[in-house]
A and B are shown apart, each in its own frame.
Chain A
Amino acid sequence: METLSLEKILDEHPMFRGMKEQHLRTLVESATVVRFEPGDVIFEEGEPARRFYLIRTGRVALQLVSYRIEPYTLMTLEEGDIIGWSWLFPPYRWKFTARALGVIRAISIDGKSVCARCDQDHDLGYELMKRFAQIIENRVEALSVHLVAIEK
Chain B
Amino acid sequence: METLHHILTAHPFFHDLPARHIETVVGCVSNVRFKAGKVIFDEGEEANHFYLIREGKVALRIHSERRGPLTILTLHAGDILGWSWLFPPYRWKFSAQTIEETRALAADGTCLREKAERDHDLGYELLERFAHIVEERLEATRLQLLNVYQDQ
Chain A contact residues, CB within 8 Å of chain B:
64, 66, 68-69, 72, 88-89, 95, 118, 122-123, 125-127, 129-130, 132-134, 136-137, 139-141, 143-152
Contacts and interface: CB of A to CB of B under 8 A. Distances in A.
Given A125-B128, A137-B93, A141-B93, 19 more contacts: A64-B142, A66-B150, A68-B150, A69-B150, A123-B120, A125-B120, A129-B128, A132-B131, A133-B131, A136-B131, A136-B134, A137-B83, A137-B86, A139-B138, A144-B93, A147-B144, A147-B148, A148-B62, A150-B152
Contacts of A89: 131-132, 135
A149 to B, nearest CB: 8
Interface in B111-152: 116, 120-121, 123-125, 127-128, 130-132, 134-135, 137-139, 141-142, 144-146, 148-150, 152
Contacts of A149: 64
Contacts of A64: 142, 145-146, 149
Interface string B49-75: 000000000000011100100101000
Q: Is the interface of A mostly helix, strand, loop or mixed?
A: helix
B131 A129 contact: yes
A137 B87 contact: yes
Interface string B26-52: 000000000000000000000000000
B134 A140 contact: yes
12 contacts: A69-B146, A95-B139, A122-B121, A122-B125, A129-B128, A133-B83, A133-B134, A136-B131, A136-B135, A137-B83, A147-B145, A148-B70
Given A95-B139, A136-B131, A147-B70, A118 B148 contact: no
Contacts of A95: 138-139, 142
Contacts of B150: 66, 68-69
A125 B67 CA distance: 41
Given A68-B150, A95-B139, A146 B124 contact: no
Given A126-B120, A133-B131, A143 B149 contact: no
The 8 closest A-B pairs by CB, nearest first: A129-B127, A133-B131, A122-B124, A125-B124, A126-B123, A126-B120, A148-B64, A143-B141
Given A89-B132, A95-B139, A133-B127, A126 B116 contact: yes
Contacts of B125: 122
Nearest to B128: A129
B124 A126 contact: yes
Nearest to B125: A122
